[in-house]
Amino acid sequence: MTKVKTTCPYCGVGCGVLAKAGHAVTGDPAHPANFGRLCSKGAALGDTVSLEGRLLAPMVDGVETDWDAALGLVASKFKKAVEEYGPDSVAFYVSGQLLTEDYYVANKLMKGFIGSANIDTNSRLCMASSVAGHKRAFGADTVPGQYEDFELADVVLLVGSNLAWCHPVLFQRLAAAKSARPEMKVVVIDPRRTATSQIADLHIPIRPDGDSGLFNRLLVELEVRGLIDASYTDAHVQGLEAALEAARANQSTQGLAAQDVAAFLDLWCGVEKVVTLYSQGVNQSGIGTDKVNAILNCHLATGRIGRPGMGPFSMTGQPNAMGGREVGGLANMLACHLDLENADHRHAVQSFWDAPRMADAQGLKAVDLFQACADGRIKALWVMSTNPVVSMPNADAVSAAIRTVPFTVSSDIIKETDTNRCVNVLLPASGWGEKSGTVTNSERRISRQRPFLPVPGLARPDWAIIADVGRRMGWTQAFDYQSEAEIFREHACLSGLAAQFGKDFDISGLADLDDEAYAALRPTLWPVPKNGSADIRFFANGGFYHAGRRARMLPISTSAPEQLARAGTLTFNTGRVRDQWHTMTRTGRAAKLGAHMAEPYLEIHPQDAEAFEVTDADLALVESAYGSAVLRVLISEKAQRGSAFAPMHWTGETSASGRINPVVAPKIDPVSGQPASKHTPVTIRRFKAAWYGFAAGVGRISPVADYAAIARSATGWRAEIANRAAPTDWEDEARRVLGITSGEATVYADPGRGVARVAICEGDTLLGVFFAAPEPVRVARSAVVDLVGQNVAAAQALAGVPGLDRPQRGAIVCACFDVGVEDIRRAIATGVQTVDALGACLQAGTNCGSCRPELAELIAAAPRPRLAAE
């Protein structure tokens, strides 16, 4: 079997990959999103496809059953709820991980047949404010440009985006373009100085939610400098004067250095080719939609949109967030960018589907949906391919809400997740590498996901599961799909109908693909109309989707940074790390990805650390009005004073106390319904434990502790632990933590100092090692992990330091070649001064390139070696 061309299942860049069972996944040189590049997550995909932990058979109340029994139960419970309480008594919560064909069938079942719009998606948490902003400005949810615009631009603004970690391949493309054309300028607008700032000519440490004030300031400056493009705005835009008036009154740049603001204005105004990319820092806000429209206003006012090298660009988080938008998989959308509130649109879709009962009003958006679960309005809930108990704000309340619903279902590839522990029925879905369909990336490019692995156990594609339930609910013909190709053709055909209503999303030119052509479909940018070709960029010559084909500039008055944090609190900002994806159900399986950031952390500014009396490597208790988390303190000058950042990936499986979304307020943007996940006021204080520990063993570690974080390692598992109560016997404690009952334990304990070390060996083989101390333990973790499973003397393991033949590597920076931070520091100390030179001597950064910003940071932070002449 040759390698199969498929698409990475993680972020919205949508990289093409070449995959074959048992082989490393590589980038597809022919795919226009990545041209062969991959990031560390994509490169490690081959390590994540094992069957460990997979859900392989349907389960009802914890007992395995067959499909007939499980789906019969699901169909009857949903049907009964609809009959007794009406269509709005049931809900689907779906995911940007679904393929377009899955999404299409789920949306059709809920909106056209059950007759409710209670289908929302985890994409609500990611880009709903961009969708709402696009619709307000353009009349449709249209991303005007494409990736090559970043390479063609003279100035690229990255607003609320840590592109280097969250969309690494696009960052690599941008970095390469800047390197080839150093006159290109990059501006990063972000409260934190992230890895992305490594290539920035200017970093603007915006105050939380200060973005719309800054872009209002820009709009005013564009007018002052005579840069409003009257020929464009006269012909294609309305609302310019009102937007300018609001901008003049709300142009706050509070907290920013005057020279930074001046430099920003000069850069934006000084060239025509400007791309403004924005992501979660803009969207995940109580004023996210206004922030989006403040950005769009500047591009509309100057006509810098839809032409090569210029335009606003919303970057989606998930692999198929765009596909979900296309099929109408949000509670406020109809299929194919048609409008739920428009009776003509509804009737057209109803007639196309031959549907009995169309939803005629918006359904419940994510936060409201789980609130409706909590207060008893939802009688049956189906969660598909997502883990809301980890990812939703106020997550503990979401867990309780799901348990309140009388009948709950989850279709998933993994058996044990925080959400799956709350539901009645588990349905095994086929996963990446097994399923077939399409996804659409952030630049509107439709790519195929193709199978290269056998489907395990009784798993089925999501579309087949949903369609089966539709048939069992009585809609035999409408859900009689035989293949994903058939669903795609129906979706493409419906888009042609939408185009007749003047909508942007038109792939009717793909409606006649036969099965063979669908199987061979190359990455394709939409629109693809039936007759003739279409421009792949939108709006260079107007043609917006509001009545009169004019865009609308919005008056934005939400400009002054809100007083988010009260005195004595910090603004809690949530985000992502480089090598993990969402709730780690896949990336958590790859040891090399766990070695970069092995536990959850709280990044705060040194002055805040001093004020809150925590020091580096302490554990901090983070508390809000909603919940709490315990996180490792990481003090950094890159943090903004008054803010605290934490990544969102850890779960009940990997760090129960490190789950951060129980802390996050369920506050939403009133226009988009998107949660403001970056703005919760919190207090922090030192988490005082009786002892802190580190353990590494050959088997899975499942410590029961006040704080624990586990990660896979190259030799087994590793864990950070802390407990308030001291154990009575350290060997018992070590065995309990490591889950090892056999072997011989060597114990070193100093009760006076509260220090203990335990090594457990079976013959000459080290099964596990455990360290405890009254302060966070200082051991060479990577060296200890390397010893596990090896023939080593217990005394060597208990030393906790690398042997002479095993230099300490430290946290892994280059996941591809397993190069640690200490390896890199040693090389820099010998005089290595560039990222390329580090690559030449250590290979670091020479494969996927995701670590190059961190390599540059380490070089910049290192003391300059003294020259002989100095």
| End-to-end CA gap in the chain | 61
Shortest distance, position 19 Cβ to ligand SF4, whole Å: 12
Q: Pick between residue 233 and residue 440 the one whose CB is nearest to ligand SF4.
A: 440
Nearest CA among 104, 108, 102 for reference residue 463: 102
State the binding string over 137-176 for ligand SF4 (x if CB under 6 A, else -): ------------------------------xxx-------
Nearest-angstrom CA–CA distance, 807 and 789? 18
10 touches ligand SF4 (CB under 6 A): yes
Q: Pick between residue 8 and residue 389 the one whose CB is nearest to ligand SF4.
A: 8
13 touches ligand SF4 (CB under 6 A): yes
Kindly state the number of chain residues that form the binding site for ligand SF4, as judged by CB under 6 A.
14
Strand 202-204 to 185-189 pairing: parallel
Task: Name the residue whose CB lies closest to ligand SF4.
Answer: 42
State the binding string over 30-69 for ligand SF4 (x if CB under 6 A, else -): ----x---xx-xx---------------------------
Sole window of 4-12, 224-232, 423-431, 828-836 interacting with ligand SF4 (rule: CB under 6 A): 4-12
Shortest distance, position 167 Cβ to ligand SF4, whole Å: 6
Nearest CA among 415, 411, 399 for reference residue 62: 415
Residues 798-857 that bind ligand SF4 (CB under 6 A): none
Shortest distance, position 554 Cβ to ligand SF4, whole Å: 31
Shortest distance, position 836 Cβ to ligand SF4, whole Å: 21
Sole window of 7-15, 341-349, 489-497, 807-815 interacting with ligand SF4 (rule: CB under 6 A): 7-15
Tokens encoding 845: 């950064």
Q: Pick between residue 447 and residue 628 the one whose CB is nearest to ligand SF4.
A: 447
Nearest-angstrom CA–CA distance, 659 and 582? 12
| Radius of gyration of the CA atoms of the chain, in A | 27
Q: Pick between residue 246 and residue 848 the one whose CB is nearest to ligand SF4.
A: 848
Residue choice 4, 6, 14, 687 for contact with ligand SF4 (CB under 6 A): 14
Q: Alpha helix (H) ranges present in 473-613?
A: 484-500, 515-519, 591-594, 606-611
Q: Pick between residue 166 and residue 773 the one whose CB is nearest to ligand SF4.
A: 166
Sole window of 13-21, 71-79, 571-579, 618-626 interacting with ligand SF4 (rule: CB under 6 A): 13-21
Tokens encoding 101: 């064909």
Those residues whose C-beta lies under 8 Å from the C-beta of residue 723, and which sit 6 or more positions away, are 689, 690, 691, 693, 705, 706, 707
Q: Pick between residue 171 and residue 687 the one whose CB is nearest to ligand SF4.
A: 171
Within 10 angstroms of residue 758's Cβ, the number of other Cβ atoms is 28
Q: Pick between residue 41 and residue 192 the one whose CB is nearest to ligand SF4.
A: 41
Backbone angles phi, psi at 751, to 5 degrees: -55, -30
Q: Pick between residue 212 and residue 442 the one whose CB is nearest to ligand SF4.
A: 442
Peptide bond into 527 cis (omega under 30): yes
Nearest-angstrom CA–CA distance, 206 and 615? 26
Q: Alpha helix (H) ranges present in 271-418?
A: 280-283, 288-302, 321-327, 343-353, 366-374, 388-391, 395-404
Q: Pick between residue 386 and residue 847 the one whose CB is nearest to ligand SF4.
A: 847
Shortest distance, position 452 Cβ to ligand SF4, whole Å: 16
Q: Pick between residue 11 and residue 74 the one whose CB is nearest to ligand SF4.
A: 11
Secondary structure letter of residue 753 according to DSSP:
T
Within 10 angstroms of residue 524's Cβ, the number of other Cβ atoms is 17
Nearest CA among 649, 772, 767, 776 for reference residue 700: 767
Cβ–Cβ under 8 Å, residues 389 and 93: no
Give the angle subtended at the CA of 446 by the CAs of 442 and 449, to the nearest 5°: 110
Q: Pick between residue 41 and residue 299 the one whose CB is nearest to ligand SF4.
A: 41
Shortest distance, position 323 Cβ to ligand SF4, whole Å: 14
State the binding string over 463-492 for ligand SF4 (x if CB under 6 A, else -): ------------------------------
Residues lying near ligand SF4 in the complex (CB under 6 A) are found at: 8, 10-11, 13-15, 34, 38-39, 41-42, 167-169
